[in-house]
Amino acid sequence: MKLLVCGGAGFIGSNFVRARVGEHGDEVTVLDKLTYAGRKENLQDVEHRFVHGAIEDPSAVADAIAGVDAVVNFAAETHVDRSISEPDAFVRTHALGTFVLLEAAREHSLRYLQVSTDEVYGSIESGSFTEESPLEPSSPYSATKTGADLLVQSYSRTFDLETVICRGSNNYGPYQYPEKLIPLMILNAIHGDPLPVYGDGQQVRNWLHVSDFCAGIGHVLAHGTSGEVYNVGGPDECVNLEVVERIIALTGADESLLTYVDDRPGHDRRYSLGSEKVKALGWEAKVRFEEGLAETVAWYQENTWWWEPIRSGDYREYYERQYGSSLG
């Protein structure tokens, strides 16, 4: 296939492009704005065509979309804490950007896959969300992602555009920017820095290895029914505190680094996704959390070339803003 992958220089997007080019022999064009989270180094070992631009820019989209068979949209602002401190870009990218992409897909009659998140459902105390669960997003991140999903569905119903939506649970694995829980804790543990746990640390996340999410997206792209939503959830749930304790054990860091800090406003307590619909398409998660976390810790330990420039750049300023006062 010839694919346009928007946001392909980010964490999940770059893992997806590597798999599509390496395992499926696809020809891929990446359209990416290269925000702080988008890095050309993530794709330095993968053959692809690169277009530098924003999904909300119709001329960049027109350049990137020429000649492709389908569009897969990963492009997004993805960190919940940043959506609380600086929500503007979330609204622009998720609302306007998705609209511009949908218009282009419609003009070229292309199949369109939107990469979405379990956070659109909000928090669940027990049981798991299905695709029929009500949408109750808590943060500006998840609210704007929800808006994008609804816009995608409106293009299917109103204009007969071929669309599918994949809602993933918390991903982890190589090339994840260290603002997110797992890479942040791994790098802080390696450096002997405090490990900042929000609130009581009893929140639960449903961990999905990035290779499993990419495979699920591939299944839905190939076999999903137009107009439908597919949840892609990880095989294991884990309380945040236990995630941090496992990272302490895997890195040999000192337990005393664990530091409780103020909770995130509007913090969702638990996510859990039922994935029966995508399993019926033949997908199943292959990587259990224990094994995937150990591999991920090893990847960060071995790939200092990847994270050293990040830790010494803009990330420092973000880290000071987000954690400075609570970590002293």
Q: How many residues bind ligand DAU (CB under 6 A)?
A: 19
Is 27 a residue of the active site? no
Structure tokens at 34: 């290269």
The b/e string for 87-114 (b: 16+ C-beta within 10 A; e otherwise) is bebbbebbeebbbbbbebbbeeebbbbb
Q: Does 128 bind ligand DAU (CB under 6 A)?
A: no
Residue 80 contacts ligand DAU per CB under 6 A:
yes
180: contact with ligand DAU by CB under 6 A = yes
Q: Which residue type sits at 24?
A: H
Give the residue from 9, 12, 19 showing the smallest Cα distance to 53: 9
N-term to C-term CA, the chain: 52
Q: Examine the residue annotation and report whether 212 is marked as an active-site residue of this protein.
A: no
With CB under 6 A as the contact rule, the residue among 16, 74, 121, 271 that binds ligand DAU is 271
Contact pick of 18, 33, 39, 79 for ligand DAU (by CB under 6 A): 79
Do residues 120 and 146 make contact, with C-beta atoms less than 8 angstroms apart? yes
Q: Which helix (H) or strand (E) holds 311?
A: helix 304-311
- Give the residues across from 29 on adjacent strands: 4, 49
Residue 141 known to be catalytic? yes
- Answer yes or no whether residue 138 interacts with ligand DAU by CB under 6 A: no
Nearest distance, CB of residue 273 and ligand DAU, angstroms: 9
Q: How far is the CB of 159 from ligand DAU (least distance, A)?
A: 27
Specify the residue, 10 or 253, whose C-beta has the smaller distance to ligand NAD: 10
Q: By the criterion CB under 6 A, which residues form the site for ligand DAU? A: 78-80, 117-119, 169-170, 180-181, 184, 196-198, 203, 205, 240, 264, 271
* Positions marked active-site: 118-119, 141
